[in-house]
Amino acid sequence: MTVTPAAASSTRTFTRMRLFTPGPVEIPARVLRALSQIPPHHRTEVFRATFQRVTNAMRELHRTEGEVFLLAASGTGAMEAAVTNLMSPGEKALAVVGGKFGERWKKLLEAYGVPHDAVDAEWGKAVDPALVEAALARDPSITTVFATHSETSTGAIHDVQAFAKITRAHGKRLVIDAITSLGVHPIPQDEWGIDVIVCGSQKGLMAPPGVASVSLAPWAAAAIERGLPRFYFDLRKARKSAPLGESAFTPAVSLVLALEEALTMIHEEGLDAAHARHRRLAHAMRAGGKAAGYSLFSSSPSHAVTAFVPPAGIDGGTVVKRLRDVHGMVVAGGQDHLKGKIFRVGHMGAYDLSDIVAMVSALEEIASVNGRPSAGAVDVARAAWDAA
């Protein structure tokens, strides 16, 4: 069960694998240590207090005076909870689709038979808020808009503040998947007017996967009272248990302990400082990658994940494989029709400039051995960090 590279090689340069995946991400040692402590039973005062601290720390991260519900599930479970708790029979939704995770909203709505329209953008581009405006103007029967903040499949960030202005003006509900953006990009829920935000533990929050959250703005409290058939993800049950420091069903106790430690780390750094650090990481990654001959896939790049197109003549899969086998770095390839065309570098969580420097240098080496040499990309990355 030790973590070994998938393929050993005489050219390998590393002693351990480093995750630059778009989630789950590297888990800080402090969080691993919290994970391995002897877990208290969940129906004890000590755990109830922990559960309440974690809930409150999540409210703080969301900048909301509303409720945050923690679920034992991965992020898609929280997305499902948003659909089944908010949409009642006869209601119509709008899905904002700019990639695989926007499509997931659409697939969830389809699975539950919720009538819906969709607005799209070419993958890599952000969906224009004007399309949301037009869709709501066209069909006033739409009650709820489902969108993605940072679209992990393309590395694009959406202007969810603009989405919220539109939904507020139309008196509609807005649900945002912030699974890869929370802790990375500012998304002050109450200030921006976002009714519901869903998140997962394994991205910007630096904890292992298995805890998901649904954050409900104070003005949206009644929105979960009707809904579709549901049980495990019934937020009315979660609401009933929350004041006791409990969840409706057995929580993922060890993961909640780990999440608490991760949230403490974010609190110690300061949320604004964490946002600023991610901005600098992203700028350094983009500038360094470009200087090494790679181009940005997204015209609206996220600070959580950078999607690169390799230099001409180099396949995305070649980069992914050599990063893994020679450099010990795990990144993600493109999904669906982007397979082989792009690769995606995650830098959300406890990453710093040295991590980016290492990645940029590896990318430069890979371009070079594939006939596309460059020089100085690391210095460019460092300068971009300084300037950002």
Q: What is the 3-state secondary structure (H, E, C) of 238-296?
A: HHHHHHHCCCCCCCCHHHHHHHHHHHHHHHHHCHHHHHHHHHHHHHHHHHHHHHCCCEE
Question: What is the C-alpha separation between 146 and 41, in angstroms, rounded?
Answer: 36
102 binds its own copies (CB under 8 A): no
Q: CB under 8 A: which stretch of 217-225, 248-256, 267-275, 292-300 binds its own copies?
A: 248-256
Question: What is the C-alpha separation between 373 and 359, in angstroms, rounded?
Answer: 16
Among 200, 245, 301, 311, binds its own copies (CB under 8 A): 200
Instruction: Single out the residue of 162, 167, 229, 227 nearest to residue 195, CA to CA.
Output: 167
335 binds its own copies (CB under 8 A): no
232 binds its own copies (CB under 8 A): yes
Give yes or no for a contact between 261 and 37, defined as CB atoms under 8 angstroms apart: no
> Closer to its own copies at the Cβ: 48 or 372?
48
Among 230, 279, 321, 382, binds its own copies (CB under 8 A): 230
107 binds its own copies (CB under 8 A): yes
27 binds its own copies (CB under 8 A): yes
66 binds its own copies (CB under 8 A): no
33 binds its own copies (CB under 8 A): yes
For residue 364, the SS3 value is: helix
Q: CB under 8 A: which stretch of 34-42, 121-129, 153-161, 361-369 binds its own copies?
A: 34-42
Total binding residues for its own copies by CB under 8 A?
65
| DSSP string covering 148-165 | ESEETTTTEE--HHHHHH
Question: What is the C-alpha separation between 243 and 35, in angstroms, rounded?
Answer: 25
> Closer to its own copies at the Cβ: 38 or 312?
38
Query: Two tokens at 169?
Result: 């003006």
Residues in the site for its own copies, rule: CB under 8 A? 1-4, 6, 16-17, 19, 21, 23-24, 27, 32-46, 50, 72-77, 80, 107-108, 111-113, 200, 202, 208-210, 228-234, 249-255, 257-258, 260-261, 330, 332
